[in-house]
Structure 1
Amino acid sequence: MTTRRSAIAALLTLTTLAACGGPGSAAASGEQVKELRYQGWVGAVTPAELAESLGYLGDVKLKWIGNTISGPQDIQAATTGDTDFGGAFNGAIVKLKVSKAPITAVVSYYGSDKGNYSGFFVLENSPVKSARDLIGKKIGVNTLGAHSEAITKTYLTRAGLTPEEIKQVELIVVPPVNTEQSLRAGQIDVAALSGTLRDVAIEHGGIRPLYTDVDLLGDFNGGSYVLRDDFIKKNPDTVRRFTTAVAKAVDWSRDQPVETVRAKFEEIIAKRGRNEDTKQVKFWKSYGVVSPGGKIADTDFSVWIDWLNGTGELKKNDLKPADLYTNDYNDLAKGGAAG
């Protein structure tokens, strides 16, 4: 009897899930999802979180399920349905798309400029002064296969190192909050530092930049938010609201005095109650998004498609930038009303 009851209960559960469309999908009634699951970053406020605080999301709500330190992990979570959106370096999005992941980028959410760049720092008295000095050395990065790795290999390649020499430069994964200390303790030779963690480390003194992404590439959009294609198809109005809200938040952060933005960040961090330190906020300068409204351009992806093809990682895949993104859900990118 117990077995029969269990079987019936299991059948009812599966029937209920099927009727609801499963987690993260639209209900059978045709109503669109109004709650978006996502991952955050410790001590930081993402453009999506800022958009919600500013009221730009309207009746769409965010549901925080935890934090991440890795863009590739974040977009993988969106691909598998553990979250509804994720953000990562555009080169990482290219790699995931090549593996046939059903995702599309909808808005730029971070980039590199003079206020928000990725720097690769050594101790002031370090003997490392050039790319060639990095052979046999360790570089601490937040994750592999993403922004820091791409910038580092671009730096090494431009400096004339051979593929075999580049393989001798070791990339070590270190949590961002521990990277500065790892450098000062001699556990790594170079620290990849960005955002407020970079500025905190600079204020502490005793370090110098060896190379930066802006020095190599100039100002550029670095990463995009992606959503699953099936989610976009089932929830077009929600996706439009989310995408346009993020675009508005990015523009708001650019247009406001930096003190106003920092105050808003402190308010958001205090309100969400995740037991975080807000001392990093005073160093925030920019999200680094270059384009108005976070509009995505072909060049945001083509540079990384070309680079990955050049390294052999894509095996001359015929992927095109248009296969990776759309601006159709970004009313600011289309010049429409902000809504």
Structure 2
Amino acid sequence: MKHSIRNFAGAASVLLLVTSVLLTGCAEEKSSAASSTNNGGLEVSELRYQGGIGSVTYPELAEDLGYLAPLKLKFIGSTISGPQDIQSVVTGDTDFGGAFNGAIVKLLAAKAPIKSVISYYGVDDNTWTGYYVLDGSPIKTAKDLIGKKIAVNTLGAHHEFVIKEYLHRAGLTTEEIDQVTLVVVPPVTSEQTLRANQIDVAALGGVLRDKALERGGIHPLFKDRDLFGNFSAGSYVLTNKFIKNNPKATRKFVEATAKAIEWARTTPRDEVVARFNKIINERGRKEDTATVKYWKSTGIAGKGGLIADKEFDNWINWLVKEGTIKEGELKAKDLFTNEFNPYLNEK
């Protein structure tokens, strides 16, 4: 599945328009979480969500550590796409989902009734994404990407924003950027696809990056951290309706996830990895735990996942520059809330 960077802008607009139509069509949010008198006073007893194969999310860690009880999680499937994950929240198929903040801004620009409540991934000295080429590749600069193919996990999210920022900063024209093709490739096969010369560049982060580097023969053309430094990159969202109708459950979810983030941040790495292995093995989804040993850090900038204005301002300004939204159309402070985070007063 191939898309030029510029062509995707149109496709994304159509997707967002469809989403907006769905929202105005009075579609009722379909929460499966039922009220319970034995639920510690919470309005709901469970939260539906999508997870990742061979990985552990912070809400899953929170549940395993006992922070989430009596609230429970209900796994409905896996996804590798942040935009798809938050679309599922909008349509009511899940109760929470997470995506790159730029993708969230795009959805909010389409009038989606959602709000970010806690950061869940980011970039730091140990956790970042590199855009890798084979050793000996003729690609040395941004200009060399014209006419080439770059593998990303999904469109309209972190990888695409970073790539476009890299090309813009290098001075490529709109016409030149149009000639750079993004190819959607599952992250677990990106390295193999690169080594088979089916693509020219592969976005590799975390455990997949480290496993690829162990095998050698590749090097980064650039890194997201080189462009933006350390920052929280993505957030979990809830619908405004869910927050309004379930304030206690919302607070419980955010508090538990925040505590799990801090547990992972302050606990010795070996203990975190062991806990992740335990969770994956006990949930019985027939997953490989080999990649867990490469976990290094949360990457999250704010304590307990606190969200900073700049983590949305960056992408609002970027989308204004791209012409996707108008200046002043969105303000960062309206797109997220730290209200439910127990570390708010410690920031």
**Same fold, TM-score > 0.5, yes or no:** yes
The answer to whether the aligner puts 1:180 opposite 2:191 as a matched pair is yes
**Paired position in structure 1 for 2:153:** 142
> What are the equivalent positions in structure 2 for 1:73-112 lying under 5 Å apart?
73-112=84-123
TM-superposed CA distance for 1:22, in Å, is 5.0
TM-superposed CA distance for 1:255, in Å, is 0.6
Give 2:254's match in structure 1, choosing from 243, 264, 267. Answer: 243
User: C-alpha separation between the residues in 2 aligned to 1:124 and 1:33?
Assistant: 53
> What are the equivalent positions in structure 2 for 1:122-133 lying under 5 Å apart?
122-133=133-144
User: C-alpha separation between the residues in 2 aligned to 1:23 and 1:113?
Assistant: 35
Give 2:31's match in structure 1, choosing from 4, 23, 40. Answer: 23
**Paired position in structure 2 for 1:201:** 212
Give 2:331's match in structure 1, choosing from 284, 296, 320. Answer: 320
Give 2:286's match in structure 1, choosing from 242, 253, 275. Answer: 275
User: C-alpha separation between the residues in 2 aligned to 1:83 and 1:241?
Assistant: 17
**Paired position in structure 1 for 2:296:** 285
TM-superposed CA distance for 1:116, in Å, is 1.1
- Give runs of ≥4 in structure 1 deviating > 3 Å: 24-31
The answer to whether the aligner puts 1:224 opposite 2:235 as a matched pair is yes
Letter in 2 for 1:157: H
TM-superposed CA distance for 1:314, in Å, is 1.5
Structure with larger Rg: 1
Letter in 2 for 1:168: Q
Letter in 2 for 1:266: N
Tell me the matched-pair count: 316
Letter in 2 for 1:93: I
Describe the superposition over 1:130-188 as per-residue Cα deviations: whole angstroms up to 9, x where unpaired: 11100000000000110000000010111111111111110110011111111011111
What's the secondary structure of 2:344's corresponding residue? coil
Describe the superposition over 1:238-264 as per-residue Cα deviations: whole angstroms up to 9, x where unpaired: 110110111111111111111111000
TM-superposed CA distance for 1:291, in Å, is 1.0
**Paired position in structure 2 for 1:60:** 71
Structure 1 unaligned spans of 5+: 1-20
TM-superposed CA distance for 1:203, in Å, is 1.0
Give 2:126's match in structure 1, choosing from 100, 106, 115. Answer: 115
The answer to whether the aligner puts 1:191 opposite 2:205 as a matched pair is no
TM-superposed CA distance for 1:28, in Å, is 11
TM-superposed CA distance for 1:34, in Å, is 1.7
CA-atom RMSD in angstroms:
1.7
User: C-alpha separation between the residues in 2 aligned to 1:204 and 1:228?
Assistant: 43
Q: TM-score, normalised by structure 1?
A: 0.90
The answer to whether the aligner puts 1:40 opposite 2:48 as a matched pair is no
